[in-house]
Amino acid sequence: MNDFHSLSAAGFAATAISYGPGRMGFGLFVPELRTAFDMSTSAVGYISSLGFLGFFLALLIAQPLLTRRGPEFPVISGLLSATVGMATVAAAPNLAVLAVGVFFTASSAGFAWTPFNDAVHRKIREVDRPLALSEISTGTSLGIFGAGFAALAMVYAGLSWRMCWAFFATAAALALFANWFALRHVEKDDREMPPGAWREMLRVAALPLFVIAFVYGTVSAIYISFAGDHFVDSGGLPGIPVQATPAVVFMVYGACGLAGLLTGRLKRAIGLAWLLRLLMLSAAVSVSLVVLFPGSWAGLGVSAGLQGVHVMMTSAVLAFWSEKLFPGFPSLSFTSALLATAAGSVLGPSLAGLASDVFGDWTMFLGTAALPALTALAVRSRFAGEEPVRPEAA
């Protein structure tokens, strides 16, 4: 197996676990967890934000690990964190232990993706990099669909939510061993990170990248934290048990997210600026439909489907846009973009939970939808340029 196939497959598996049940699992099981641990909407928001704080901190740790040890060490650390965190959630006796489990589970996403940008940049030829990065990022779709399918099986087979989380922990352990096998031959980059490398990320030319990343992180985190629970509170869908509704949401989300594989082709066809506008508008429509048509198959399907397209395509855009802007810092630039994503993900759910308790779900979801809608209107072609950012002369 050549580098293209081995790295794409390993990255697909890592993101399937860490960005599938790792990042989405808490939101998927919020109805069951609220009942088991007697959580308010604000508590749901706080725990979700705590998980994304783990994601943020892991991103900061992963970069020096990558520099000193190569891509294998941070990826394996992330999958180990997923395994331990998921097992902790499965066995959690109280809310405090649940929160710890969610923290470690969500941390896995911060460790286990960005190192692949470095490996792909060094091991795969330039013409194939966008496809490889799109395949890696779209591993999330399979992970989300699988998590949703497990939740659906739980409902129809009468399984406990704890059994589902034990299954997730087992899958994470298997992905850990698969990635160890694929990455053990990818050597550390011997080049030292030059002084001031982080300052290079603060150029004005990169500001649109970070704004899009922040909005994307805020909106997607609010959706995965609260949408499934709102559909349940609204009575679910006709023809299926109400408890199965979140599983359907995330299965549609994951299946439609496979559109992420077309991101590179779509960008070449319509340009980056129009792609960004469409992705931000898809997020706005998706979130709005949660409260506009919560009790219909069409409303739920379009909402979850658009959110899946938005998340998977935007994540792929961040991967190749950051690599194009900063070709000398492929992993650091992607880490910087994901830090902006994580910052939005930390703030979004906690503020949304408070807004929901004070103003209600309608105001919270429609207010959230306004953020990507306004961002779409603000996108200008000259701000979405792809010229590499040149380092300043010493």
224-258 confidence digits (pLDDT tens): 999 999 999 999 999 999 999 999 999 999 999 88
Per-residue pLDDT, averaged over 283-303, amounts to 95
Query: Which of 56-60, 205-209, 267-271, 340-344 has the weakest average pLDDT?
Result: 205-209
Q: What is the pLDDT of residue 379?
A: 87
Query: Which of 138-152, 178-192, 227-241 has the weakest average pLDDT?
Result: 178-192
CA dihedral in degrees (248, 249, 251, 252; nearest 10)? 110
Q: Is the predicted pLDDT of residue 282 greater than 50, yes or no? A: yes
Look-up of token digits 């190749």: 320
SS3 39: coil
Q: What is the pLDDT of residue 168?
A: 94
- The domains found in the chain, sorted by start residue, are 3-186+202-384 (1.20.1250.20)
Q: Is the predicted pLDDT of residue 268 greater than 70, yes or no? A: yes
Query: Among the ranges 3-12, 140-149, 197-206, 328-337, which has the highest mean pLDDT value?
Result: 140-149
| Higher pLDDT among residues 184 and 314, named by residue | 314
Per-residue pLDDT, averaged over 252-265, amounts to 88
Rounded to whole angstroms, how far apart are CA atoms 72 and 69?
A: 7
Question: Which of 162, 145, 114 lies closest to 17, judged by CA?
Answer: 145
305 touches 252 (CB < 8 A): yes
- Distance, C-alpha 137 to centroid of its chain: 9
Q: Is the predicted pLDDT of residue 385 greater than 60, yes or no? A: no
Phi, psi angle pair for 121, to nearest 5°: -60, -35
Per-residue pLDDT, averaged over 210-218, amounts to 95
pTM score: 0.87
Q: How confident is the model at residue 187 (pLDDT cuts 50, 70, 90)?
A: low
Q: What is the pLDDT of residue 154?
A: 86
Concatenating the DSSP letter of every residue in 109-178 gives: HHHHSHHHHHHHHHHS-GGGHHHHHHHHHTHHHHHHHHHHHHHHHHHHHT--HHHHHHHHHHHHHHHHHH
User: For the chain, what is the mean pLDDT?
Assistant: 87
Q: How confident is the model at residue 393 (pLDDT cuts 50, 70, 90)?
A: very low
Q: How confident is the model at residue 188 (pLDDT cuts 50, 70, 90)?
A: low
Q: What is the pLDDT of residue 394?
A: 35
Q: Is the predicted pLDDT of residue 9 greater than 90, yes or no? A: no
